[in-house]
Amino acid sequence: MITKGNCYICGKTIAKTAIKNHILKEHNYGDEKCYLLKAEGHHDKNYWLYFTMPVESLLLFADKFLREIWCECCGHMSLFKVGDTWGNDDDYGMNERLSSFAVGTILPYEYDFGDTTELNVTIMSEILRPKQNEKICLIARNEPHNEMCGKCGKPATVFDSDSWEALCDRCAKRLPTDDFLLPITNSPRCGVCGYEGEVNDKWVFDSKKSKPQPVSKDKIVSEAEIILSAKNIKQTKPPKKISIYSDEYSEYIKKCDAIRRLNEIHLKNFENYLTNKGLTEKTIRNHVVNTEFYINNYLLNYDALEVKQGCHKISSYMDWFMRKTTWASCAEIKANAASFKKFYAFLLESGIIEQEDYDNLVETIKEEMSYWLEQMEKYDDMLDGY
């Protein structure tokens, strides 16, 4: 079956076999050197998408993108495997740069090592694009599949993960329980674990939207605007068991999206703050990457917490970090602690957090660092023994 997809720049509907040539012919312009990458399901290649990343970007940003658009459900671990075969157990670190890979390289990707979603990420070509703030630019994506109800043949709306069958609303209501029902999503993880769709809807194609304009890299929101925006976001926690079709769930997603946009502003201003301090480019990059992972992958995706609450979550994060990430080490724990101290010092100087919040963070790091390192060593010993 030849699948079709949407070009997110010009809005055209194009067959998968022709989309690469379309992108390189029509949308290869700008002054930022990038790689054009294709991601597709390893077992079902009818799920696919094309996106660009600057050649000096880290794999961490590709991981974040794939989680948001296709995979994230319960904060599972993920990795990029070495080589283009699935029998290899070696993996790349998330701090590996795209520039270390040549055009044509296939990077097998796994999310969740239990109910695993397997993807193939291929570096298709070099490409130019206008400069923008976002590392990832989604260029094209397959159209949603037309799933039919396995019982009556009508258009399906949900997936029964117990029977592994797509169902329409009417047939779904006849089930003895709805505990196993999940929404049908445009993702190779559809129906797996607790996956309910994209982290936010910014990746959904809308043919009515005008051609997206690149964001100026120099556009920075003032600290006063950040503080004002933060006051307008009400704190919320993710519902424990709530229908994804309810107004409450919709409101929760909107708040998450608002916090995420605010976090991007914090990170950009933090980067400028470090630059003004005279730090090297490599040091700045490491601090920003560590902080971005903390506030977007942990605080936001787990409890929808703002950066201020992060002052009081450092201990639980370190425990999660050493158990859930493949690159955790004693050195990484120390590096993360240093990054968080600098980030929250920046927020303190900006008037976004109080002195009490910052003092709590510093005191926690001071008192618990030896314990974190001891636990990390024990965890490493356990994995070596395994």
End-to-end CA distance of the chain: 43
Please, what sign has the CA dihedral across residues 106, 76, 262, 142? positive
Which domains are assigned to the chain?
4-142 (3.10.290.30), 223-385 (no CATH)
- The CA distance from 293 to 339, in Å, is 11
Supply 202's token pair.
Answer: 């910014």
Residues sharing a CB contact under 8 Å with residue 263, sequence separation 6 or more, in sequence order: 292, 295, 296, 300, 307
Name the phi and psi angles at 124, rounded to 5. Answer: -85, -40
Nearest of 30, 83, 96 to residue 289 by alpha carbon: 96
d(CA 146, CA 144): 7
pLDDT in tens, the chain (386 residues): 568 999 999 899 999 999 999 999 999 998 899 999 999 999 999 999 999 999 999 999 999 999 999 999 888 899 999 876 555 667 888 889 999 999 999 999 999 988 999 999 999 999 999 888 888 999 999 998 888 898 898 888 888 888 878 899 889 888 888 878 888 889 999 888 888 888 767 777 876 654 443 433 333 344 444 444 444 444 444 444 444 445 555 666 677 778 888 898 999 999 999 999 899 988 998 999 999 999 988 887 666 788 999 999 999 999 888 887 778 889 999 999 999 999 999 999 999 999 999 999 999 999 999 999 998 888 776 655 44
Q: Report which residue type is found at 178.
A: D
Residue 164's φ and ψ, nearest 5 degrees, are 60, 50
Residues in a beta bridge with 50: 38, 140
- Quote the tokens at residue 301: 């995706």
